[in-house]
Structure 1
């Protein structure tokens, strides 16, 4: 989603589009992500606001045990598509689509959710803001906001169907206080192309403004303009390297390299998962990033990412805490995570249900507290252990044999020392590895063995 401009390579940030006095500038060092949660069969759905933090916008740690930070109390009492944004005075606003789990996404709805906060940890009550009243048969999806310095107003973009049309366009409504808003106008429709949704605007990059969106062909596209006026944007990027079924673009600028950008997209075929591209928004050149290089919160969907200060980062950690649930990502199949299924340990691509099958508590080793054991999050008291060299999930029977079989020494990754490998406690010549996606403990001799035995531990 929209990202505040970065001034210089150290992350000195001022609200976009305005001449801001020095005392109003802030030094950003980290990032916050807002999202809601969804799983393939719906068992993990949470139409609430979740937050995560990151030092680099790629590796994310969910806050509050990946439980909601804000639960909607107005409208349908459900949200999707949360968008978080720093206002001109340094405070924050969070907008979201009004929709509850299981509801009709396309049902007419003129209003969006609004929360405000001075510091990301103290939030106002949930209120509704009408942005789309004249379009009586339209939804108001995926709101986002940017500061329009020329108008001295905040522009709220959202996806909707204007009266007299049968396709979605990017609409805009203006506000100064997030309590009332102007009647909507068409902001962008790419010369009449149909069903355009999910706008994300980045303003003031060397005098140019950029808009990324999901096109009618269900791919991410980019447009640009030297103006912020409705109708002024012209497409300049058609489909970065990707498959079909990608939506919800989020454009993120590095805080340490002003020429480095990332483009996040929500790939929903067959089930929602994030793809990330690395490149430069000014040229529109993007290269797909391996999933080995980023880790999104489990179940996260339709995110927004903003830079924050170290003070805000620490306040979020102090207020909400992080999570004790960890996952193990495969080095050579980075779309796959260690999970249990029917008592067998294996690696499978996320997303799947139940999501918690891939979540573990790394506890002191049952046989040696200097090592680790993997306790299942959704089956407390059950652990990964080896049996006839296969890795399985069993309930701890309290025996010394079980303790030894369920204990592993965490060592630098055999294929990548910044990752991890896990050496068996009672068979120290063997390591946890996958073979045909099943987990076992085996001796390691080849580079393939090393890759199969290397994992990234992440929330």
Structure 2
């Protein structure tokens, strides 16, 4: 749900979402709907930033071929927006249904008004995630409490879908509830799905993994797993080691499409910074996770509380063709992968993600002003300004159309000096010098040591 931590309010939602084993795409168990050739992923999310400049409570999509590096679609703008209830969503989730089409669920909440109570969730149908039809709200209960962080799965034993969500029931604390539905239009009576006797939110399921079902959830700002050999309400028992990164929620389980045993666990910080962290395991049954190096994954800009669903290569291509990829880039530091290139007071530097104005870290990589085979970095929020070196330090300056400016603002993109799969940038008019950071400030320097090489290496992504 991505909001205040449980210590600051009695109820709190956060939707987990998984690429859903349950949805079928992730789980390899019987009774799941799985595309025959899943080879990529789609992520759904909403957006916020530290000062809420990026706050947008519509449905956003991004795609990935490995489930780790993500490309936002539609310029990171929403592809659908609720038209009823609060007129906003949080915690979206995508399920591939048994017929191969998709259903999208989301919390009915605009912004961070935690006093707003809705017993409904937003629902859309989609054949291909390029069009969204049949928008409606589905009522889940009559209790005086929320219905947050919805996720759905196919229950083969019952021959119907289950919708799990966070709510406060008669116990007085947050539990994971469930309603069964055949059509995502009307829901059966609410039942308690998981109540270990303490606050739990953000349930995320992986169904039918070697005969076992796994439920991950938020407990005391950590991510914890429970498991059961059935999908019956009340059958799950906690078993895993807790993982966290300074307060984490919204667990999302993702099965690798290239390794039969590898799983990833995504988590989101509860505050508006919305920094995602990821862990990996080679056996979901072990219940232990190893934190991934942030160099290995990049979340979509300003994304919050995601859901991830496997898709086919055709679906991936069709999504990109429909919504387009960003016309801008972000640059991540190699040896400080929590930091991104940005301008601040017109000085080039690397700062921790997330920051506002978030547009300070967005760049249009244009043909080099002095040599079109090179590259120049045009600011997105100051489009008449470019990164250029002045006394070897990088500044964001107005293009005065002089030869000197064009040369100072032109760089040659090369294979990363510390990692050839990343990038480094050599100065046009000082060809022995490369862009690097020093005390987090960008400058051009000669590169000789391994530290210099790491300082001069960047990931060009989104």
Shift of residue 114, structure 1, vs aligned partner: 0.1
Q: How is 1:322-401 mapped onto 2 (pairs within 5 angstroms)?
A: 322-401=325-404
C-alpha separation in 1, matches of 2:413 and 2:303: 28
Question: Which position in structure 2 is the counterpart of 1:173?
Answer: 179
C-alpha separation in 1, matches of 2:294 and 2:421: 15
C-alpha separation in 2, matches of 1:5 and 1:352: 34
Question: Which position in structure 1 is the counterpart of 2:459?
Answer: 456
Contact 1:13 1:28 survives alignment (8 Å): no
Q: Match for 2:441 among 414, 438, 442?
A: 438
1:214 to 2:230 alignment: no
2:37 alignment partner, SS class:
strand
TM-score between both structures, scaled by the size of structure 1: 0.94
Gaps of 5+ in 2: 1-16
Aligned residues: 444
Gaps of 5+ in 1: none
Question: Which position in structure 1 is the counterpart of 2:248?
Answer: 246
Question: Which position in structure 2 is the counterpart of 1:109?
Answer: 118
1:227 alignment partner, SS class:
coil
C-alpha separation in 2, matches of 1:108 and 1:410: 52
TM-score between both structures, scaled by the size of structure 2: 0.93
Q: 1:292 to 1:15 in 2, by over 3 A?
A: closer
C-alpha separation in 2, matches of 1:420 and 1:108: 48
Q: How is 1:30-109 mapped onto 2 (pairs within 5 angstroms)?
A: 30-102=40-112, 104-109=113-118
Query: Quick one: higher RCO (CA 8 Å, sep 6+), 1 or 2?
Result: 2
Question: Which position in structure 2 is the counterpart of 1:2?
Answer: 18
Q: 1:382 to 1:25 in 2, by over 3 A?
A: closer
C-alpha separation in 2, matches of 1:208 and 1:19: 14
Question: Which position in structure 2 is the counterpart of 1:129?
Answer: 138
C-alpha separation in 2, matches of 1:122 and 1:15: 28
Contact 1:12 1:26 survives alignment (8 Å): no
1:392-421 CA-to-partner distances (Å, cap 9, x unmatched) read 101111111110000000011111111110
C-alpha separation in 1, matches of 2:272 and 2:157: 42
Q: Match for 1:274 among 273, 276, 283?
A: 276
2:240 alignment partner, SS class:
strand
C-alpha separation in 2, matches of 1:238 and 1:214: 12
Shift of residue 271, structure 1, vs aligned partner: 2.8
C-alpha separation in 2, matches of 1:344 and 1:351: 18
1:448 alignment partner, SS class:
helix
1:91-126 CA-to-partner distances (Å, cap 9, x unmatched) read 000000011124x22422100000011111121042
2:239 alignment partner, SS class:
strand
Contact 1:14 1:25 survives alignment (8 Å): no
Shift of residue 361, structure 1, vs aligned partner: 0.5
Question: Which position in structure 1 is the counterpart of 2:190?
Answer: 184
Contact 2:64 2:71 survives alignment (8 Å): yes
1:15-66 CA-to-partner distances (Å, cap 9, x unmatched) read 854177xxx8521111000011010111111111100000000010000111
Question: Which position in structure 2 is the counterpart of 1:18?
Answer: 31
Contact 2:41 2:63 survives alignment (8 Å): yes
C-alpha separation in 1, matches of 2:177 and 2:32: 27
